[in-house]
Structure 1
Amino acid sequence: MKIIKKAILAFVLLLLFWVLVFDFQRVLFSIHYLDKLKDNSFWEWIQIFFHSIRLDLATGSVLSVLPLVLITIFISTQKKLFFNLFKIILIVELVLVAMIHAGEINAYGEWNHKLTSRVFMHLSNPDEVFRTADYTMTVLFILYLILEIVFGWKVSKWLFKTTRFNVEQTQIWLKLLLYIPILPVLLGLQFLLARGGWQQIPINIDASYFSKNFVINDISVNSPYFFGKSFLLFKRSNIGEFLSNYSQEELANTMSDFLNYEKEHDNYILENTSPNLVFVILESWTSTVSSRLSGKPGATPNFDELSKSGVLFTNLYATGSTSEIGNASIFSGYPALPEISISMQPFKHRKLKSLNQSLMHRDYTSGYLFSGDLKYGNIDSYFNDHGFDRIQDESDFPSNLERGKLNYYDEDLYDLFLNKINRQEEPFLECAFTGSTHSPYDFPGHNKESWKGKAANFMNSVIYADQCLAEFIQEAEKQKWHENTLFIIVADHGHASPYISNPNDAEFYRIPLLLYGPALKDAARGMVIDKVGSQADIAATLLYQMKVDTGKDYPWSKDLLNPNVPEFALHATTRGFGWVTPAGKFTFHLDYQKYIVNTFDPQMLPQERKRCDAFMQMIYEEYESL
């Protein structure tokens, strides 16, 4: 009977061990991000430790399977080898869990969400990880890793003493008689706990959600569970099971306005159909940094002034939250689907068309310049595969220039960019991708800050980037090619700001788009376009203005200058998707299976959800066929 009691004790102590480890991680996270919790009461924070128990037990059960087998074998045989193996496996799991959480603490300040499969994209270029992180982040990662491992090691020594599991010597047949039935029973209990009980649908993230503050909910969900779920989806790269399965007829009926609206119109804003195109892709410029777009104190006075003489799009949304997704959307008119980055899949993205390819028949040359490393997100491969004539990154910058940890400064990027453009024959498509507004925000003059409070480092980097943008435009005005040039100034994705930090809110994804320059008709200067659209709509909007027959090359891109265009934007969030129309917005979480954000009237929501599902199904079906 002692064997049974000891086995049950091991089962309970293993679960207790993991609950204590997860709770210790929550305490560390809460201390580190105390500023994000200042608007929450102490009582709400305490509730985290109660609402998290079910999911902690589920995760602990999964992590305890192999350790339980080993320690019960030790209890039955009293062979020290099995106890040593038990401790080794437990510590290996502890180290992995600690690494996930220590990485999450560092990434959360920039990403505003828990660690997901997105990390694998970064880990494919390890140097990018260390360059993005400042020295403080590296030190903190090591510190939290050590603290969590030491804590877990101490708890394991306290809970799993060898003497606690010693039993009297008995005959081997009796040990087996007692051991053989108890292990399947305990493993069955673990399975039951892992799925959260007998209910039809297994436990999920929503078991720990209870607050209206997403940070509180993120703390409540233990990191290895969230990361593990994301990893499983990452390994599949297949979200089909989450999408609708409408018939083709129902798809056509649901999205009839998108499929059948009148494409022809005479709302032309360009002086001619073959202007030089100069793209400036602004790293992380969320719309809330602009006073003109947010109506609040901002960090972009120069951009705001430029916008008064251009065509400003006020309701444009990034399709995702990473740079490689933004670039593919801008140049190939391709929307984003949750957990899918098409630029990471060359065999698929090569089948898409891009703006430069659509302009080759007009003898446009094309160039792309980035101040960092284009290996990130396979961006280099994407532009190479799509036939850009010149693709350059940090390796092409003069070696005598000072630089930040991640990339060269915006001021030097623009200087080199002008130099490159001046060597091109017209017409051309040229693109500069900035980097100074990316962490670690070590731009020149970073000690001369002028923004205080929340997101100060980011906002001050935007102030610097805004100044550099204005100086670039001033220098461009002196060049011969300027008179026939259209500047397309747009962000790659959004970012947390003093006004919005919830990555589930559509506002997090709203970004600026400005068409500016002498190529615009006088009547277009100062125009404001309030239509709802996304980065994926830039391609169709530009090419129609240039009277380029695109055929079926950009099936998901809408012309936002068309008076008849249906207004909507789809954006992929962390583990979910969002939908925006003039009537409202929602964000749906795939794991939670609930709306995190919804402003649609309850009577409209079912129809808008159906439209969103139908649109994603159409995109996914084409994606699968590529």
Structure 2
Amino acid sequence: MRVDPRLVRLFGPYLQYVVLLLLMLLLLSTSRGVLFIWQYDRVVAAGDTATMLLQGIRADLILAGLWLSIPLLLAPLLAHQASFTVWRYFSHGWVLLGLCLVIFIEVSTPQFILQYDIRPNRLYIEYLKYPKEVFSTLWQGYRAMLLGGVAVTALLLWLLNRVFIRVTATAQPYPAKTFWLSWPLVLLLVFAAVRSTTEHRPANPALFAITSDALVNSLIINSPYSVLYALYSMKHEARSSEIYGKLADDEMLRLALDWPWLKQAIFHDPELPTLHQHEASVQRDKPLNLVIILQESLGATFVASLGGVPVTPELEKLKHDGWWFEQMYATGTRSVRGIEAVISGFMPTPAQSVVKLSLSQQHFYTLGSTLSQLGYNTSFIYGGEAHFDNMRSFFTGNGINQIIDLPQMANPVFVGSWGASDEDLFTAAASHLADMHQQQKPFFSLVFTSSNHTPFEFPDGRIELHEQPKQTANNAVKYADFALGKFIAHARQQGYWQDTLFLIVADHDNRVYGSNLVPVEKFHIPALILGADVAPKRIKPVASQIDLAPTLLSLMGISGQTPLTGRDFSKDDSSPGRALMQFDQYFALMEQQQLTILRPGQPAVSARYHLQQKQLVLSEQAPNAVQVKHTLAQVLLPSYLYRQQQYHLASQP
């Protein structure tokens, strides 16, 4: 390849970066075009394709500007005659690193979309913290994709490196006067590209959310920019909810706690604004034990009676023996989000779950906080390694005094990428519960399953497969259901059954996707309370995972101070309900079937969810200011409580 001398003279020390800019635009536009063709039906249905493609180039210029900003700031130190050799090789390395980032993340984008129905975002970063589990999953379930992605990245980088060897060799410094005249102008152009707007705030991914389809909005930008912005946003976790707007603290607290089930509550401690007396609806001489079975990725899409695929026959039988929630909704799309909702009764935010945040690793409320003070043995039982997603740290710092994970399990029969099979998990749980019963200790155990997790590994010969090949979500769910049924059947024969409350609930659905702005149908999950003297009942109103903790405490016969803001369904199981849902950067409050959806940097929208059709219909009329404020308060409250460290019992520091 011969570089035109006129270009060398024109661009001087910036020659490599001009070529990088053009290549980035070419690669990213090509990738976007391929993704648009792949998702053609949704792209065309969402809006004007030409406008979206042009906006995509704008987003690509932001990414390129961000990558160019560091070398441009270093240019006065290096891009002159005395150190130009250093500048050449630094620029060469920086260019290749940028291209490697672009190529690899874009190549891995289709698989990420298949799993999460959105471009790579903060999840892409979070999973990098657990290379053992992630690499094992990729190798077992996505080996061809992994090897193909690495091969494509390596091949393209090899070819581009050959190009840049010639470009690097021909780059020349400017004369000093030319450099100092040009450098401020180049810096200004790059700054303008990064800012991309003359508005008060610089552009961010929310600016490109111009359709009602979250996936299409993400396709407009590019994956490296999405990932880098997510990395930047993680520095602002404590105030993450303010992307939707702000309210004065007193107004926020008043609106956030304005629910019928909290009308009689007395919040007397301004340092603990949600702490109040919870009176159990069931009086017992001896409170019940509690076992929560948190089912990995068991959405309503797998439960026939909730409109899903019929792969949970055991759960279908069990639902006739207890309280069956017909409209239970998850608060998010990650396991740790389900944990914070079910175990802590904590509301969702755009930030990471509190399970992973630094200020909640101690003195943060969980059911273990209440029950450990009452003398319960509190445990977390998990088939994998409990350090994953920071679960061990969160639990041990917040009222859970025993961790039983894979290293503590004696001779598991089957171990996959994510740990022991659900049967092995339930064997360990049954042994632990029997020990506690024999020692006459009251107990609370959180049992977290993992067999229904990609790459869907489970023992052979246990179930009649729902479909071929073996390693599919439907087959994994059917196996998980089989293991659950065995465990409950065993527990019924034990002496502790009559003294123990069991909750079976999903953390979230398997894949959260769809053309709706918020895919409400993928937040719908099964939940069942049974055991002890619980009589069969159907709970019909909309319910949220955060409603489970206060309901469980009531059925156990436990009264006391708690910071829980959820609804106690043992006191009222017929009034209209509500659910809180965080989907990427969108927060939704659903009251019965009416939703108010908050969007960062954009006006809120109103929608109605049709349960039978599983369809969200956006309203042409914007929600009124009162409803928007009420919704905003729901997402500002948890950020406030976390930031102020005010979500705990009075006896906790």
TM over 0.5: yes
**Residue aligned with 1:368, SS:** strand
Residue aligning to 1:481: 496
**Residue aligned with 2:386, SS:** coil
Contact map agreement 2:214 2:515 (CA 8 A) in 1: no
**Residue aligned with 1:340, SS:** coil
Please tell me whether residue 539 in structure 1 is matched to residue 555 in structure 2: no
Q: Deviations over 1:352-391 (max 9, x none)?
A: 2322332345543233211111101221122222333432
Residue aligning to 1:247: 248
Task: Please point out which of 574, 577, 580 is paired with 1:570.
Answer: 580
Residue aligning to 2:226: 226
Amino acid at match of 1:129: V
Shift of 1:289: 1.6
Please tell me whether residue 493 in structure 1 is matched to residue 500 in structure 2: no
Q: Deviations over 1:559-614 (max 9, x none)?
A: 13333977322233223322211141244343667659775753645333211211
Residue aligning to 1:410: 422
Alignment CA distance shift 1:346-1:76 (3 Å): closer
Please tell me whether residue 617 in structure 1 is matched to residue 652 in structure 2: no
Distance 2:553 2:168 in 1: 76
Residue aligning to 2:21: 15
Alignment CA distance shift 1:355-1:266 (3 Å): closer
Distance 1:163 1:248 in 2: 56
Distance 2:88 2:377 in 1: 68
Alignment CA distance shift 1:457-1:202 (3 Å): same
Residue aligning to 2:263: 261
Q: Deviations over 1:50-101 (max 9, x none)?
A: 4411111121122223456789976978955433322111012222333434
Distance 2:503 2:32 in 1: 44
Shift of 1:547: 3.6
Shift of 1:224: 1.3
Please tell me whether residue 63 in structure 1 is matched to residue 67 in structure 2: yes
Contact map agreement 1:588 1:596 (CA 8 A) in 2: no
Distance 2:61 2:178 in 1: 26
Distance 2:400 2:375 in 1: 12
Please tell me whether residue 278 in structure 1 is matched to residue 288 in structure 2: no
Amino acid at match of 1:623: Y
Shift of 1:462: 1.0
Please tell me whether residue 554 in structure 1 is matched to residue 569 in structure 2: no
Residue aligning to 1:193: 193
Residue aligning to 2:474: 459
Shift of 1:257: 3.0
Contact map agreement 1:284 1:438 (CA 8 A) in 2: yes
Amino acid at match of 2:591: T
**Matched residues, percent identical?**
22
Amino acid at match of 1:87: H
TM-score by length of 2: 0.82
Residue aligning to 2:533: 519
Distance 1:402 1:79 in 2: 59
Q: Deviations over 1:232-273 (max 9, x none)?
A: 111232315425432345335534632852469999579876
**Residue aligned with 1:438, SS:** coil
Q: Which structure 2 segments of 5+ residues have no match? A: 1-5, 266-276, 609-616, 646-653
Amino acid at match of 1:55: A
RMSD over aligned Cα atoms: 3.8
**Residue aligned with 1:198, SS:** coil
Alignment CA distance shift 1:479-1:208 (3 Å): same
Amino acid at match of 1:274: P
Shift of 1:488: 0.6
Amino acid at match of 1:288: T
**Residue aligned with 1:430, SS:** strand
Distance 2:140 2:432 in 1: 34
Contact map agreement 1:366 1:428 (CA 8 A) in 2: yes
Task: Please point out which of 83, 102, 119 is paired with 1:114.
Answer: 119
Please tell me whether residue 590 in structure 1 is matched to residue 595 in structure 2: no
Task: Please point out which of 73, 92, 95 is paired with 1:90.
Answer: 95
Contact map agreement 2:452 2:477 (CA 8 A) in 1: yes
Contact map agreement 2:598 2:632 (CA 8 A) in 1: no
Q: Deviations over 1:187-206 (max 9, x none)?
A: 21111122224344433325
Contact map agreement 1:54 1:207 (CA 8 A) in 2: no
Alignment CA distance shift 1:555-1:76 (3 Å): same
Contact map agreement 1:209 1:217 (CA 8 A) in 2: yes
Residue aligning to 1:444: 459
Alignment CA distance shift 1:2-1:515 (3 Å): closer
Amino acid at match of 2:293: V
Contact map agreement 2:588 2:597 (CA 8 A) in 1: yes
Distance 1:479 1:501 in 2: 47
TM-score by length of 1: 0.85
Distance 1:452 1:587 in 2: 39
Distance 2:242 2:197 in 1: 23
Q: How many residues align?
A: 610
Contact map agreement 1:270 1:519 (CA 8 A) in 2: no
Contact map agreement 1:19 1:57 (CA 8 A) in 2: yes
Shift of 1:482: 1.7
Distance 1:243 1:219 in 2: 22
**Residue aligned with 1:344, SS:** coil
Shift of 1:16: 1.3
Distance 1:214 1:359 in 2: 41
Distance 2:515 2:72 in 1: 41
Please tell me whether residue 379 in structure 1 is matched to residue 391 in structure 2: yes
Contact map agreement 1:257 1:566 (CA 8 A) in 2: no
Contact map agreement 2:384 2:418 (CA 8 A) in 1: yes
Alignment CA distance shift 1:47-1:621 (3 Å): closer
Worse overlay, 604-613 or 74-83: 74-83
Residue aligning to 1:357: 369
Q: Which structure 1 segments of 5+ residues have no match? A: none
Amino acid at match of 1:378: N
Alignment CA distance shift 1:79-1:346 (3 Å): closer
Distance 1:504 1:452 in 2: 31
Distance 2:370 2:193 in 1: 56
Alignment CA distance shift 1:273-1:576 (3 Å): farther
**Residue aligned with 1:312, SS:** strand
**Residue aligned with 1:187, SS:** helix
Mapping of 1:26-175 within 5 angstroms? Answer: 26=32, 34=38, 49-66=53-70, 79-155=84-160, 157-158=162-163, 161-162=166-167, 175=175
Alignment CA distance shift 1:113-1:291 (3 Å): same
Shift of 1:181: 0.9
Worse overlay, 66-75 or 82-91: 66-75
Contact map agreement 1:282 1:433 (CA 8 A) in 2: yes
Shift of 1:44: 8.1
